[in-house]
Amino acid sequence: MVRPLAQRLRVPAASPFGENISPPKEEGPPNPMTATPAQVHLLDHPLVQHKLTLMRRKDASTNSFRRLLNELAMLMTYEVTRDMALQDIEIETPLETMTAKVIDGKKLVFVSILRAGTGILDGMLSVVPGARVGHIGLYRDPQTLKPVQYYFKMPSEIEERDVIVVDPMLATGNSAIAAVEKVKALGPKSVKFLCLLTCPEGIAAMQKAHPDVPIYTAAIDRQLNDHGYILPGLGDAGDRIFGTK
Ligand code: URA
């Protein structure tokens, strides 16, 4: 089971990075690599960490990058859905009647932020094949640098569903924040955010805008560079998934 980082490190709620981000109780200055966002779930399973390392390598081919992302998405879906509600139903086994558990409520919704989010969907859907899928397309206006929506398609009855918004990289947080805002406007039961990689800046921005949205990630890297890329990171996730560079 993956507990929130803050819980695992037993940290207070105040933060140098944002409202819900707190340093661990350690002597000396806070270390951004071990900062402890209250709502951030760091998926530190050895398989997740191993596969992420293979993806980061610049010599990973498009084929292996995509395959690893697929495998990672499956493992991460397992954790992000850990708290799904269950209900009891009565079934017949070949031997007798029993009360057994199934997932309660309407089907989950995975919302992909185009285009890189799409690279995570296959893996997620192989673990939760009945999930509904929404898409949000956003581009950055070169003048205002604000995200502008060019595509938005969501499943029906979203107010009765739990939503997981996905994008491999939570970097500046601009697209993720805008996407979560659009999803929240439809009134879903809950919203989570799942990414592969993030950084202190992305977490702080997301938590300032949406402190109620938990973030699930495989790593919190050192920082953003001047072009909005995560360091050390893995480069442009979209280009690496689709082989467009
Ligand atoms: N988007 C990417 O694809 N990579 C980054 O490092 C940041 C944003």
* Chain segment 3-22, per-residue pLDDT in tens: 455 443 333 333 333 333 34
Show the domain range for 226. 2-21+35-242
| Nearest Cα residue to atom 2 of ligand 1 | 236
Quick one: which atom of ligand 1 is closest to the CA of 229?
A: 6
CA of 166 to the centre of ligand 1 (A): 14
**Residue 84, strand partner residues:** none
CA distance 63 to 8: 36
Token pair 């673990």: residue: 127
**Predicted local distance difference test score (pLDDT) of residue 16:** 32
Give me the number of domains the chain comprises. Answer: 1
Asked if pLDDT for residue 45 goes beyond 80, the answer is yes
Asked if pLDDT for residue 200 goes beyond 70, the answer is yes
Mean per-residue pLDDT, 200-216: 96
Q: At what angle do helices 174-184 and 200-209 cross, to 10 degrees?
A: 30
- Mind listing the pLDDT tens digit for each residue in 211-222? 999 999 999 999
The residues that are catalytic are: 140, 144, 236, 239
Token pair 């918004």: residue: 165
In the chain, the amino acid numbered 191 is V
| Nearest Cα residue to atom 3 of ligand 1 | 236
Does some domain include residue 29?
no
Quick one: which atom of ligand 1 is closest to the CA of 238?
A: 3
Q: Are strands 219-220 and 215-217 parallel, antiparallel or unpaired?
A: unpaired
Does some domain include residue 61?
yes
CA distance 174 to 156: 26
CA of 96 to the centre of ligand 1 (A): 53
Does some domain include residue 201?
yes
Pairwise pLDDT comparison (180 vs 105), residue with the higher score? 180
Does some domain include residue 30?
no
Q: CA-based Rg of the chain, rounded to a whole angstrom?
A: 19
Does some domain include residue 202?
yes
Does some domain include residue 26?
no
Measured CA angle at 144 (ends 142, 145), to 5 deg: 60
Q: Residue 187: which H helix or E strand, with range?
A: none
**Predicted local distance difference test score (pLDDT) of residue 10:** 32
Q: Which residues line ligand 1 (CB under 6 A)?
A: 116, 169, 171, 228-230, 233, 236-238
Does some domain include residue 133?
yes
Q: What is the CATH number of the domain that holds 203?
A: 3.40.50.2020
CA of 230 to the centre of ligand 1 (A): 6
**Predicted local distance difference test score (pLDDT) of residue 38:** 63
Quick one: which atom of ligand 1 is closest to the CA of 240?
A: 3
Token pair 């296959």: residue: 122
- Mind listing the pLDDT tens digit for each residue in 119-178? 999 999 999 999 999 999 998 777 776 788 999 999 999 999 999 999 999 999 999 999
CA of 239 to the centre of ligand 1 (A): 10
- Mind listing the pLDDT tens digit for each residue in 70-127? 999 999 999 999 999 999 999 999 999 999 999 998 899 999 999 989 999 999 999 9
For 105, the 3-state DSSP assignment is coil
In the chain, the amino acid numbered 186 is L
| Nearest Cα residue to atom 5 of ligand 1 | 229
The closest alpha carbon to 136, from 125, 127, 124, 147, belongs to 147
Does some domain include residue 48?
yes
